[in-house]
Amino acid sequence: MQPPAVNHSIASADQSDIEMRARALFALALCDPAEKCGAVATLAQLPIDPGALYENDVSVPGRPALPLLVHPSQVARRSMATPEGRAALLHALAHIEFNAINLALDIIWRFPGMPQSFYIDWCQVAVEEAKHFGLLCERLAELGCRYGDFTAHDGLWEMAEKTRGDLMARLALVPRTLEARGLDVSPSIRDKLAQAGDHDSAAVLEIILRDEVGHVAIGNHWFKWVCEREGAEPVEAYERLARTYQAPRLRGPFNLEARRKAGFDDVEIEALLRMAKQGAA
């Protein structure tokens, strides 16, 4: 028989190398990006207690004072034909990756009772998102900028807040919706950067696209695992959750090759195209 779960506050998680999920909560609350990424790098070395219940008694996610968060319509958008415009784009991508670190950390600590492989998978995602954030910050530095120099918006984390009490919804609407959108748009951004002569930034986008296929695949795997556990049909469950949590409408064009590599089957692709058509009507 399993021992009863014990509630822990985040205060116990700052005692360093105790347990992966506690450490993930501690890392999530860190405001300094370098410290957060450093804490992420230690997660895989730690034991996992799937049954532990944690409470966060500080504000999460931790963020630096900058960038200033604004409405999406107010985020700086500039032509990729100029270094300033490319810096604004790379900054937007860095902010997405910073949010993605927080999302992976949040799913690790927030949802108990999953197989150990669930937490190992999301630890891998957190590590790779931190790598992406670092690569983008390096490119920003080479362009004379840093993370925080431009405004940003909070769309990814807003969906995390909506789904904080529903693991199936989190899996459906963050990795399989918002992050899967990156599979659709990243190739065109990569190609435009290359056409502008910024081959170093295009190479970073290529790395991110390759890794994000794996991240969406992890989301797909665990969404379907939870659906099977709860006796839900994945396509019907996805459409219901998208309505319930007011997910962004799906719009093409879609990178169907990448989505198939990430585990979307033919039935899901057909449903995706149908939902996009209905949204455009």
Tell me how many domains the chain contains.
1
List all residues 6 or more positions away from 225 whose beta carbon is below 8 Å from its beta carbon: none
Residue-level pLDDT at 281: 54
In a domain, 35, yes or no: no
Residue 253: cis peptide before it, omega within 30 degrees of 0 = yes
Contact 238, 267 (CB under 8 A): no
Asked, for residue 128, whether it belongs to a domain, the answer is yes
Whole-number Cα distances in Å, 52 to 6, 7, 109, 112, 244:
6, 7, 9, 7, 29
CB of 184 within 8 A of CB of 198?
Answer: no
Which run of H or of E encompasses 256?
A: helix 256-261
Q: CB of 17 within 8 A of CB of 30?
A: no
> Cβ distance 43 to 28 under 8 Å?
no
**What is the structure's pLDDT at 2?**
31
Query: Is 144 among the domain residues?
Result: yes
Cα angle: 261, vertex 275, 89; to 5 degrees:
60
Q: How many CB atoms lie within 10 A of CB 56?
A: 17
Q: Does residue 181 belong to any structural domain of this protein?
A: yes
The pLDDT of residue 73 is 83
CATH number, position 92: 1.20.1260.10
- Provide DSSP, 91-146: HHHHHHHHHHHHHHHHHHHH--S--HHHHHHHHHHHHHHHHHHHHHHHHHHHTT--
What crossing angle do the helices spanning 83-110 and 116-142 adopt, rounded to 10°? 160
DSSP 8-state symbol, 55: E
In a domain, 227, yes or no: yes
Structural domain contains residue 7: no
Per-block mean pLDDT, blocks of 10 residues, the chain (281 long): 39 60 96 98 96 86 95 82 92 96 98 98 98 98 96 90 97 96 95 95 97 98 98 97 93 95 96 86 54
Identify the CA nearest to 41 among candidates 179, 170, 160, 134: 134
CA dihedral 142, 144, 148, 154 (to 10 degrees): -60
- Give the domain range for residue 248: 76-280
Gap between the Cα atoms of 278 and 208, Å rounded = 30
**Domain presence at residue 233:** yes
Is residue 204, in this structure, part of any structural domain at all? yes
pTM: predicted TM-score of the whole model, two decimal places: 0.92
